Amino acid sequence: MTGPDVRALLADIKTLVCCESPSSDHAAVARSAEVLAGMGRALLGAEPERIVLDGCTHLRWRFGDGPPRVLLLGHHDTVWPLGSLASHPFSVADGVLRGPGCFDMKAGVVMALHAAAALPDRAGLSILVTGDEELGSPSSRGLIEEEARGCDAAFVLEASADGGALKTGRKGVSHYRIAVTGRAAHAGLEPERGVNAGIEVAHQVLAMAALADPARGTSVVPTVISAGTTVNTVPAAAGVEVDVRAPDGAEQLRVDRELRELRPVLENAQVRVHGGINRPPLETSSSAGLFRLARELSAGLGLGELSAASVGGASDGNYTAGMGVPTLDGLGAVGGGAHADHEHVLVAELPRRTELLTALVENVLAKREAK
């Protein structure tokens, strides 16, 4: 197996980065999907299946006659709005590649296609590239779970953690909205006749923040808070959005249960809890075996020592791990600045990580054939 061609990798990354694809713009995501389909057709000699769900375009390649055994998982949507290339143009200088969405995660998608192209036999491989991950995968979650079911491994092409570390753990994510109902009254004439939803939501913010457990890595963060309509009216309604991150399923369930047990402090106020668990954790037990394999293969290929990291951000790998599928994340680009002005990719690592990915897929597929 010859090593990946860095010039070909860079050319394809440029093509994909220069086709902007903000998640909320279905037409832009569809255009990006067509660019990606053409790229895959040239590299793999195969046409992808285009799957449009709720207006969003996802791509899937399947190889062989049997069910998938290895899933390469990525997304081609980004957080960058149309026109971002004008202020953040694609560039490669001094070994650093820049451009909107290059690190998160268009480089990783290109790496997946090039890694698959280098396989001597792709039977049992599935490649799924979704178009709504940055929105929380509202239309693609079922597709991801369908494709991962029964797989021996899911390799997620999200960008690496700091220093190129693979992501062996991700916190579970839950989202809530706490809605408070009070009673309006004139703030100057008869405030005592009102039930102040603003005061009640303040009590609730303090109560929910107390559910965090920093020692365990559990965060409960009130984010968007709203109350009231005019300056001279006792607020009749208020609300707060809550972001919860938990390192394991037990913690995620604990916070969920305790949030649902919140009760009003003010007489005649009402508190309702909406939302719930969005993504299960990717626990380190799910990635341990694949990380050991990655370290062995990296050493054998002369690619150096690999490190691991657990992170607070979520990915579609949370879904596959939550199903019990062995999952290794962060196999994409090495660099930094996801969602930020300094987003970048280290060019020297592109062929190295692509070679590692090819070896991982080939190894897992070969083990299945040997059974």
> Would you please indicate which residues are annotated as catalytic (active-site) residues?
77, 133
Residue ranges of the alpha helices (H) in 210-345?
A: 249-260, 284-300, 317-322
For the record, the structure tokens of 95 come out as 């070994």
CA distances (Å), 27 to each of 24, 31, 55, 250, in order? 9, 6, 9, 40
Scanning the structure block, which residue is given the tokens 């579609």? 316
DSSP 340-356: STT-EEETTHHHHHHHH
CB atoms within 10 A of CB 145: 15
- Give CA–CA dist 2/357, Å, rounded: 14
**Would you state the torsion angle of the CA atoms of residues 158, 49, 321, 261, taken in this order, to the nearest 10 degrees?**
100
- Is the separation of the CB atoms in 40 and 60 below 8 Å? no
- Is the separation of the CB atoms in 72 and 361 below 8 Å? yes
- Give CA–CA dist 71/61, Å, rounded: 10
